[in-house]
Structures are given as structure tokens and as C-alpha cells.
Structure 1
Amino acid sequence: MSSKTRDWSSIYCEAILSGDILASNKVKQACERHLSDLKRKDFKYVYDIDRANKIIRYIEKLPDIKTGVPNKLALFQKFILSQLYGWVDDKGNRRFQKAYVSMARKNGKTILVSGIASYEFLYGKNPRYSRQIYCTANSKEQAKIAFSMVVKQLEKVRSVSSSINKRIRKVQNELTDNNSYSILRPLSKDTGSIDGFEPLVGILDEYHESKTTEMMEVLESGQTLLENPLTLIISTAGFNLNSPMYLQEYPYIMGILKGTIENDNYFAFCAEQDSEEEIENVDNWIKSNPLLEVDSQKDIMLKNIRKKLSEAQEKQDLGKTLTKNFNIWQSAMSESYLKGSDWKKSLIDLEPIINGKDVYIGLDLARVGDLSAVSWIIPIEETNQFYVNSHAFVGTRGGIENKSKRDQIDYARLKKMNFVTFSERDTGLIDDNQIVEYIDELVTANNLNVKFICYDRYSANNIINELSERYQMVDVAQGFATLSEPTKQFKKFVINGDIVHTNNVLLEIAVNNAILKNNNDAVQIDKSMYRNKIDPLAALMDAWTEAVNHDFENKGKADNDYYKNDFSF
């Protein structure tokens, strides 16, 4: 088989799945997906090796912006490009119209970004004319970095190709192709309106820095009438666990790769460490640094990563290194209560059967009338685990849009996902009746046996009196003496896999925002920080003060004895 017809995707998949190249679980799943799709009968997409190889040959002819020497692509880069360009429908339009590509820093992201952008700018099809390609980012400066990479590369091409030199014109921050009237330019949220905005390709560079979905929505709304668009997220992990990349895209691609979410038009490649413990073994580093497959790059990369890791360990500050060099999401706050990775590990795809189960309910009621939370804990006897979930009630005084901007939470989206309920009062304040009705419906619909409803006495109001008529209520004092040990226990239960949850975005936001305050060896979640963002977790912690004492039929009191002997945090 000649290099022109070589099936790079299958070669890569075989190397990964045979263990010849070590890879993350998500990369393995991406390979399994490709091989499985090749066998699908009556599939409306086909894999065209020639189309896949065309862009590979193009990029390997482009000069490196530092050395001027043509790029040589690594096998994983050929796999990514082959997937994006090899899979097409019967019209030749791309199958994957959205892609998520993530890996540690310095792993050849530049080649992919600049190569795809310039290829579509010069040789893209459908439309044949007036193609719009945008290098986008959260800030104008970051967007210009990606754009300038493309410009520098094409400048070198222009210097050796008279035909390309005649075709391309650069005016300020825009490249124009005289042959096809296509444009390539940077785009950020600071960019003003653009006439006839219709991005064939939008590259979201370092999407982890985006605090909202604004840029994604701008790109995708402009692609509505296009048959062959591509939105490409290409980024390392980050520190904002409430960013749309982590809260929305990351769990979504997890579902696609596991097969629990069906989306034939979304490609995902995530090179990451499967756990933090893996960094102790150098052989594992290739999982997040796939460029280590290239022998000529290996020694210098390992030397630099070792240096970064050693320095971070000596300073006892691993956060940045884990994120940038090993592509592991980390909270920016050292006092964070739970690691995002630990919370993600306790995620389950489907809610367990809860009908007829015991339930412990926690309430965190609004002090000023803009957010209240109901959380519940259900012991699952069959697995000896606790299932947790939550719902919030949002005041609308001042407008939901203003509240969403202030809290940096998309409440309208959460309402559509049934994680929150908006107040129906004319005043916009929380309606206690809605909370009572929600609890009653939750209990009745699932035939739950309410053990206790636990609440914070400071925020108690008339709702407590009403609920106490039919449920046993527990006043949870909000101090170290009451909450410290349950707070420690809950964290250990999460880490050990004894707490499970479905993908409740609202609760995850609360977990990501929770930080601890300490008093000697005692700890509790600081409710003065991010007051309007941790309410679901605060309600959950109130319920946990009683739920932790639940006796599983198969467990007895073994866990309580264990925790009496180990309360280190």
C-alpha cells in the first residue's frame, strides 16, 4: 500500500488497541468507535481514505514557522485529520461537523490549527466560493495568536509559490483569497457584527478559558444554512470547572465515547491521564502527551516535563503542571472541597431504581429570596451506595438574564434541563409553595420513605412549619461541631465510590465552587463564599448529617467504626 492510499486511521487504531502505543481510555474509545463504524450496515456515511490523505499530504508540505522545514505529522495527528476529512456522506460533505480535540501543551496543536484553517481557506469545498474561516478564542489577543500562526505559515508558502502569492492578500487582520473570494480572520467576543456571517469553519482555540457559550453559539448560529460546516474545539484542560468546556462539552463527549449518547456528527479525541497517580510512571505520560510517540521529539519532551513536574512537587503546587502538562482538569482554588475528577468518577449514566426507598432530604432556603435548594440522598441497598440529587428554586426579581450574568450560571438552560424552577410570584421572590409541592411530588411519585428533612435553622421560615406537619424535621446547626465530621466523611465516600450521581449540572456547579474553612482540625464548607452557587451542596450536606448514619442491611456498622479510627483530611 502506497503512502497515498495508506489507511492511517486503521493503522493508529490497531496500534492503540493492541497496546503498541499507550493511550487514554477516551482515545481507546475513539479508536473503537471508528472501527465499529466501519462495520455498520446501512450507515449513511462512508470512510474515504483518499479524502483523508489529501489534507495529510497538504499539511506535510507546509513549512514549520520556526525552521521552514516541511512538517512531518505524528500518527495521532493523522488519525485526527483522517477522521475529520475521511468520513463523508453521499454528497461528499463531512460527517463530523463538530469536534473536540484535547491534549497537553506542546503536542502539535499548532500544526492542526493552522493546517486545517489554511486548507479550508485555499481548498475547501461546498461552498466553492466565499468560504469564511475563523480562528476564534475567548479574547481578541488569543484569537490573533491562532490567526498569526496561519499567516506566518502561508507567508512562507507565498515566498516559494507564485500562484499562492497571487491568490492571497492580507489587509490588517484578514486574509483574502482572490480566486474564491474566501476570507480567514480572527474572531473573539469583542469583535463587532459581521455582515453575511456564515462560518464554514470555526476553530475555538483554548476553549477552556471561555466562561460562557457565547462564541460557540455565534459560530453555530451562523452555520445554520451550510451543508459542510465544522466547529472545532481544540484546547488543553483548564482551571475553571464551571466553564462550558468542562460542564457541557466534556461530559457530552464522555457519553459519545462510551456509547450512552448517540451523535454521529461529533468527533472526540481526548488525550489525558486517566488518573493523577499515573504521573508517577513516566511510561504513562504518552496518554496526555501523544507526541511522545515520535522518537525525535521524545527525549526533549520528557526532559522538559520532568523539569516542570519536579519543580511543582518541590513547591507542593502541582495544579498547573497537572493541567498543562498532563491535561487533567483542576480547580484554581487550593482550598477546594472536592476535586472535579473525583466528582466526575462518581458519575453514573442512569438514575438507579429509587421507588420505595428511604430518603434523606436537605433544605438550604434563601435568605434574600433569590435561590433555594432541595437536595436528597437515597441509600441504594443493592450496591451499598448513596444516590444524591438536587433541585433549586430561582427568584426572578431583577430579571433572570441579570442574575445569570451576576452568578455566571445559565439559569435558562438549567430550567430547560429541569434542574431549576423559576418563581411564579409577581414579586420575583421564591415561592415557598413551589418548594413544598416539589418535595411532596418527589416523595409521592417515587413512593419514598422520608427518614428526615434536614434544614439550616438560620434560614428557617414558614415552610418548616408546613413540612413538619407530615415529615420528621431536623434542625442542623451550621457550625464545626455539627458539620466537620460529616463534611470529611462525604468527601471520603465520594473518593471511594460510595456516593453516586447523575449529570446534574446545578449540583456540579455547587461542588466546583465549594471551598473549605478550617478551625484547627475541624472543617466545613464556607457558605460565605459564592453564596448563590453552593446552595445545592449546602442542602446536601445538611441531609448527609443524618444519611451518613444509615444502616445498610449488608454493611452493619462497619463504616462508622472505620471513620472513628480515621478522620485525617
Structure 2
Amino acid sequence: MPAFIPRVLDGTLLTSKWVLLAVKRHQSDLKRTDWNWTYDEELAGKAVAFMEMLPEPKSGKAQPLAPFQKFIIGSIYGWVSKNDKTIRRFTDVFITMARKNGKSLLISGIVLYEFLFGKNPEFKRQLYTAANDRKQASIVFNMVKDRLKALCRKDEDIKRMVKITRDEIINLDDGSSIRSFSRDAGLVDGYEPHVAVVDEYANAKTTDMLETLASGQVLLPSYLTFIISTAGFDMNAPMFVQNYPYAKKVLLGEIEAERYFAFIAEQDDFSEIDNPDTWIKSNPLLDVESLKQQITDYLTTKLKQARGDGSLNSKLIKNFNMWRQAEENSYMDIESWNAAQVMPIDIQGQKAWIGVDVGKTSDLYAISWLIPMDGYWYADSFAFVGTKYGLDAKIKSDRIDYRSLEQKGRCEITRLESGVIDVERVYSWLDEFITQNSLDVQGICFDPAQYGSLLTQIEKGHPEWEQIAVRQGTLTLSMPTKQFRDDVLEKKIQHSGNEILTAAINNAVLLSDNNGVRIDKNKYSNKIDALDALLDAYAICFRQNIETITNEDVFGDDFGF
């Protein structure tokens, strides 16, 4: 690995911020003496040497590793326990990079190395090439199979020790096996995935696959779950919501996870797309001199085509590893929204504009609020979740883990046997929320559709809370919808990072007509409720100068809708 690490550290080799942090973490860990791990150059070298002698299936020639690949393989196999070198330090590996950067080489090499030479356990190691669907899982499995067949043609001993069938590869010497696995195919009873290489996890809609794999690894001291994927369009997918931010926090040192390895090769900023010298950040294979011109020409051609045919988003995702919304008319880019996140704020005794979006009582009922702070609006949200068609089905369709979010206090799942949302409970929660925080309610701002039941309860229980109907047409919502986005960009609106509100931001798509723009409620009707509620509140309070809000001017003439 020395060829890679020094060049990254001295800036000779340009990398993403996150790859630089991965290298710095490695260097810092080498100096540690207060833990159970050590770096063994010989073990790292053996793994790299094996993978560099693996033949490429079509040509039969050995395929050398790129410097960044040696760093990854060396890290996985070089870091081991001081007491037992058959136990690897890293059990969870997260790698993301642009397409066509040697991903298959890494996957097949790791699987075959563990299949042929794994030591812990010594016998009956189970290895899985996993993906979200059967087709993708089969692609990875067949790559492993083809490389093993090519190896068998070169080595009689390996040919003797393996049996290759359509669906399984067996090591006759120690009983180890390789199979493919996908979420829709399931696994057989008694599985223990010693190694599970998950390909293109960005396409997974739920965490089912990883949870299933992890459940069989409990008793394995040196298992390896290897996630490798390019970015995707779905910014509510588990990879983007969970794995990707977790990996970044590990690299930043915000989370201590000594058995977690992360390598994130991506463009650091959208503006870098116009500078080919920076493309190596997301395409580390550009560090290979013999491939540099070919890859550069390919990316240049694809970018030119994308700008001409309107497919730029797709190219940014697949060729530059940048997460982007699927829709070209998406309401807000996630980078701007995330940049406006702050730590949760004490709202005790503050003025509050509260928005309510009823939705369907079998789906989601959202309450969002805006609190004027020192120079900005603070936004947050809470949701009530219906389960009429089953909670698991709703979690999968919305791609939001409501169970875990309920534990975090972000939502409440209905307790009614019918599965519909209990409006009396919504009122009770709202009453408790306002009372416990001593909020000075400036308005309950609502979409009139299906709001009648809550309106009646508020009129009876708290007639002092002003209830303001916000018409949902473009004429009413266009200006606040555009201003809200501008205020997020300028940090005049900041938020707590609420997962349900963030999912709504990711799903929101703009609809235009002669009167302006508004959020398209028909596009993702069950997944933007929290944003709809927030915009209802913002439609009332956005005309106020955040610097000079007073009780006297709260309900002046400017508020009519």
C-alpha cells in the first residue's frame, strides 16, 4: 500500500474528502497501542498477491490491482487481532464509487480468497454474493464462477478441490460453499454467512436483506459483510439514509466503530464536474495510467451527451457517484437541505406557527411547526402512522422505518385495531406538545380537506388557538413554496434533521401552471405530508420579518388567504 498512502497524504494523488479521511484513519491507527488490533503487512500482501494473480475470464490473463484497490484489500486483510491473526479487525465494509471502477474485481477476489484460503472457521464457510434482486445476485455469482473456472484452467490443485454447479460452488477439501442470495429469493435454514458481499445496495428499498444476513452471523468471530455500490436516485433508500451517513460519521470520528471500514469515492461538489482533473475523486481507476485517457474520453463524451439530452442527473449518479433525486423537477436538492440542519433546539416558551396535513386516516397524519429564532425559522415535525393495510407493508412502500422512528420520538403508530389514525389521539398529542413546551400558538394552519374533526376538537378545547385555513391552489402556495426553498438555501430556515420531514423533502416534486408552482400532491401523495404541513404554516408566517416579529403584528392585514 505505500504507493497509495503517501501520495494521498501529501496531496500528490487527488481523492475525495472521505478517502483522505480513510487514509488518515489508517495512519493514525498504526500508532495506537491501546487496543487489540495490529497491522500485518505479510497478511495484507498475501491477499493482494492472490487477487493480482487471478485471471480475467475472457483473456485468461492476470488482472493487477489499482493502488486504491490494494489499499482496500490491504486494510481488510492486514488488520487482525494481536492474539489470533485468523480474526480480522474489520467485519463490516462499506465502499461506494462510480461505475466501471473495478468493482467486480474486488467482489470476486474477496469471495474467492475466503472460499479457498479462509481460516476462521476452518471448515464449512458459507459465502454469499448478495444483491437486491435475483438478476443482480446472479451477475455477481457468475462473475465469481467464471474467474474460478479460469483459475482452474491454470491450477490443477484448485481444479481438484472445487466442484462448480449451476447454483453452488463447493470446496471439496473443507466443505465451504458459495451461493447467490437476493431478498426475493430467501435463504435456506441453518445458514451462517461467513462472507456476504452485497452488490448495488443503493437499489434496495428496505433493510430486509442486510438484516437477514446479519441474523446468521451472530456466532461468527470474523464474518465479513461487504457493501459495495454506486449512488442511486432514491434518497429514501436505506443506503442513503442509514449506511452512507453512518460511514461518514465513522470517518469523521464522530462515531467510534473500530471494526467498520469505509471508502467513499465521490465528487465533493457539483462544480467539480466541469473540471476533468477532479474526476479521479469518484473514479479512482483514473490513477491507472494505462486507463486514464480511455476513462477520461468516455466521461467527457457521456457528459456532453447528457447535457444535450437532459439526462445529466443519471450521469452524475452513475459516473460521478453523486446522490441525486430521480426527478429533474425535484423541489429541493438534498445537499441544501442537509446543510441547513442544526442540533435540536429548546423551543420552550416560543411563538409557534403549526401546520397540519390530515392525509388519509389509514396512512399518515402530519403536524409540522415553525419557531422564530434569532434570525431564522426553526422547523420540525411529528407524524401519526396508520396501519390499515399492515405496518410492514407501509414501511416498505414509504421506505421509512416507522418502528425505529417511533422509538426516537419522531412519530406514533396507531394503536387502533382498525389501523386507522385516532384523531382524538392527534388532538391529545397536540395539546400535550403545546402545553409541555409552553408554546405561544400564533396559528394552527391547515389544509381544509378532511380537517373537520380536529377543527371541532380544537374549537371546544382551545378556542384561543387561531385556526387558519390555507387554500391549496397554486395562486396561494406558489410564493411561499418558492420562498421556503430560497430560505433553506440562505439558512433562514433550519431544521432538526427529522427523518420523516427529510423523506418528504426528497420526494417532493414541483408542479407548474399559469399561476406559478406548488408541490405535486398526486406524485407521492402518502410521502410528502410532513412538508405539506410545514408549507401550510409557512404560507401564513413567511411574510413576517424574522428579525422583528412581535405580538402586535402577528395577525395584521397581510395574513389573508
- Provide the TM-score with structure 1 as the length reference: 0.91
Code of the residue aligned with 1:449 in structure 2: it is D
Distance 1:33 1:386 in 2: 37
> What residue in structure 1 maps to residue 241 of structure 2?
247
Distance verdict in 2 for CA 1:550–1:58, change over 3 Å:
farther
> What residue in structure 1 maps to residue 44 of structure 2?
52
Structure 1 position 341, deviation (Å)? 3.2
Structure 1 position 91, deviation (Å)? 2.6
Which string of whole-angstrom CA distances, capped at 9 and with x for unpartnered residues, describes residues 286-334 of structure 1? Answer: 1111111111110000000001000101113201110111001122222
> What residue in structure 2 maps to residue 238 of structure 1?
232
> What residue in structure 2 maps to residue 567 of structure 1?
none
374, 378, 384: which one aligns with 1:393:
384
Code of the residue aligned with 2:408 in structure 1: it is M
Distance 1:555 1:62 in 2: 69
The answer on 1:431 being equivalent to 2:414 is: no
Distance verdict in 2 for CA 1:301–1:167, change over 3 Å:
same
Structure 1 position 283, deviation (Å)? 0.9
Distance verdict in 2 for CA 1:193–1:147, change over 3 Å:
closer
Q: Which moved more, 1:283-292 or 1:83-92?
A: 83-92
Code of the residue aligned with 2:153 in structure 1: it is S
331, 335, 360: which one aligns with 2:353:
360
264, 288, 291: which one aligns with 2:282:
288
Distance 1:426 1:149 in 2: 49
Equivalences for 1:252-401 in 2 at 5 Å? Answer: 252-348=246-342, 350-381=343-374, 384-401=375-392
- Whether the 8 Å CA contact 2:265–2:281 is kept in 1: the answer is yes
Q: Which moved more, 1:330-339 or 1:531-540?
A: 330-339
488, 491, 504: which one aligns with 1:494:
488
- Whether the 8 Å CA contact 1:364–1:459 is kept in 2: the answer is no
> What residue in structure 2 maps to residue 101 of structure 1?
95
Q: Which moved more, 1:410-419 or 1:220-229?
A: 410-419
Q: Which moved more, 1:79-88 or 1:171-180?
A: 79-88
> What residue in structure 1 maps to residue 20 of structure 2?
28
- Provide the TM-score with structure 2 as the length reference: 0.92
Distance verdict in 2 for CA 1:88–1:530, change over 3 Å:
same
Code of the residue aligned with 1:12 in structure 2: it is F
Code of the residue aligned with 1:376 in structure 2: it is W
> What residue in structure 1 maps to residue 35 of structure 2?
43
> What residue in structure 2 maps to residue 464 of structure 1?
455
Distance verdict in 2 for CA 1:521–1:26, change over 3 Å:
farther
Distance 2:129 2:427 in 1: 49
- Whether the 8 Å CA contact 1:137–1:206 is kept in 2: the answer is yes
Count of matched residue pairs: 545
- Whether the 8 Å CA contact 1:480–1:524 is kept in 2: the answer is yes
Aligned residue for 1:517, secondary structure, equals: strand
Q: Which moved more, 1:285-294 or 1:365-374?
A: 365-374
Can you give the 5+ residue segments of structure 2 that lack an aligned partner in the other structure? Answer: 551-561
Distance 1:459 1:33 in 2: 54
Equivalences for 1:128-139 in 2 at 5 Å? Answer: 128-139=122-133
- Whether the 8 Å CA contact 1:329–1:341 is kept in 2: the answer is no
Distance verdict in 2 for CA 1:353–1:409, change over 3 Å:
closer
Code of the residue aligned with 1:365 in structure 2: it is V
Distance 2:360 2:133 in 1: 37
Code of the residue aligned with 2:424 in structure 1: it is N
- Whether the 8 Å CA contact 2:332–2:485 is kept in 1: the answer is yes
Can you give the 5+ residue segments of structure 1 that lack an aligned partner in the other structure? Answer: 1-7, 557-569
Structure 1 position 151, deviation (Å)? 1.4
Structure 1 position 447, deviation (Å)? 4.0
Distance verdict in 2 for CA 1:255–1:554, change over 3 Å:
farther
Distance verdict in 2 for CA 1:427–1:85, change over 3 Å:
same
Distance 1:174 1:486 in 2: 58
Distance verdict in 2 for CA 1:555–1:27, change over 3 Å:
farther
Equivalences for 1:172-191 in 2 at 5 Å? Answer: 172-191=166-185
- Whether the 8 Å CA contact 2:183–2:209 is kept in 1: the answer is yes
104, 113, 117: which one aligns with 2:111:
117
